Structure 1
Amino acid sequence: MNFVQPIRDLEKISEVRTYLADKNKRDELLFCFGIYTGLRISDILTVKVQDVYGKDYFYVVEQKTKRAKQRSKKYTVRKRIPIVTKLKKLITNYCEGLRMSDYLFKSRQGKNRPITRVRAYDILRNAAQHCGLKEIGTHTLRKTFGYLVYHENDKDVALLQDIFNHSAPYITLKYIGVNQDAIDEAYSALNDLKI
């Protein structure tokens, strides 16, 4: 299994989005949906139009944590996912003409089925190659969400740890690709404290 990275550069994120928008609106929405929700691709692909259309938030039972909780006999927990305004606009525009029972990321093959994980990977890999990015996969969307939230919320690792359901802060930091430069910068900031 290859280790994938978040997309750290906002201009690159915009470039990938533009490339996907020019190719296919569904693929643009897939990219933005992952970056704005932080969900795993397995959870994204199960979303139907009725789950998100015209809503401010939606609920999801995460597939990975659901299996772990079932093994440990704990209750299944539904996770509440806010739909940010930018994503809501994309969803509204994209869903025109779709039935409420349609999968949001509907495959063109067969009846009402979502695209596969492999197809989602191919979409992202092709866009990444076109935009000069490496170490990209479907998990890049979730990691990019984490990286952006981390940097936009005063590097609140506890918040991200809770969102991702990680057991320790260092796991979250490693997961979102915080590099040695960021660690060094955090230590350097201690010099400015008046203690």
Structure 2
Amino acid sequence: MERVEPIRSEKKIKDLKKYLLGSNNIRNYTLIVLGLNSALRISDILELKWCNIYDFEERTFKSHVYIKEKKTGKDKKFLLNKNAIDALKKLKKELEHIKPADYIFTSREGQNKPITRSMALKIVKSCCAAVGIKAQIGCHSLRKTFGYHSWKKGVPLPVLMELYNHSNQSVTKLYLGISQDDLDEVYRLVEL
């Protein structure tokens, strides 16, 4: 598997979201926004059903989502932030009828099947290319982007390690995709 990078530019992230909204494909917009804001692997995002994120009795989005990670088998609880909920609301509004057992990111082929990982990869790569993101991009870039921007905003490494369910900090450090520009920024910041 080739190594992918996070999307480091907040402007490019905004451009990406604007592009997706402009192309009027709310499913793809929501897929990318949820990927950027949940730090989940694409395999876990594609397995999400409406009952995981929406309370049908209360008719409201849940504040937290509980899943069992497909890769690790570990339990994961994460907060649906405002950006994720806003994107999910857009998608829900666009869909005619949703049932609790429906996948959120349904394929156009067959009934109640999620899109495939290869389709998700195609969506992420093509949308990023359309807005001029030149880094090595894949679905895992969305997960890494969350960590990178969390780290840039001062979230400590042990917290990110816990968030990612990593067993050691060295794996988390790799996720952050720290570049020479990030290191140079430290030297500019700390002038003693």
What is the TM-score normalised by the length of structure 2? 0.86
After superposing on structure 2, the runs of 4+ consecutive aligned residues of structure 1 that deviate more than 4 Å are 184-192
The CA deviation at 1:8 is: 0.7
Q: Give the equivalent residue in structure 2 for 1:120.
A: 120
Q: Give the equivalent residue in structure 1 for 2:157.
A: 157
Deviations 1:59-111 (A, max 9, x none): 01111111xxxxxxxxxx42111000221122123113322221100111000
The CA deviation at 1:165 is: 2.2
Q: Give the equivalent residue in structure 1 for 2:143.
A: 142
Within the alignment, does 1:109 sit opposite 2:116 as a pair? no
Within the alignment, does 1:65 sit opposite 2:72 as a pair? yes
CA contact (8 A) 1:49 1:100 kept: yes
Letter in 2 for 1:42: S
What secondary structure sits across from 2:107 in the alignment? coil
Moved more, 34-43 or 93-102: 93-102
Within the alignment, does 1:87 sit opposite 2:94 as a pair? no
Deviations 1:140-178 (A, max 9, x none): 1000011111112x1411111111122332331222201
Moved more, 160-169 or 104-113: 160-169
The CA deviation at 1:37 is: 0.2
- Gap runs ≥5 in structure 2: 55-60
Alpha-carbon spacing, 1:126–1:95, altered in 2? closer, same or farther (3 Å): same
Distance (Å, rounded) in 1 between the aligned partners of 2:65 and 2:167: 24
Which aligned pairs between 1:46-65 and structure 2 lie closer than 5 A? Answer: 46-53=47-54, 54-65=61-72
Alpha-carbon spacing, 1:155–1:191, altered in 2? closer, same or farther (3 Å): farther
- Gap runs ≥5 in structure 1: 67-76
Q: Give the equivalent residue in structure 1 for 2:99.
A: 99
Aligned residues: 181
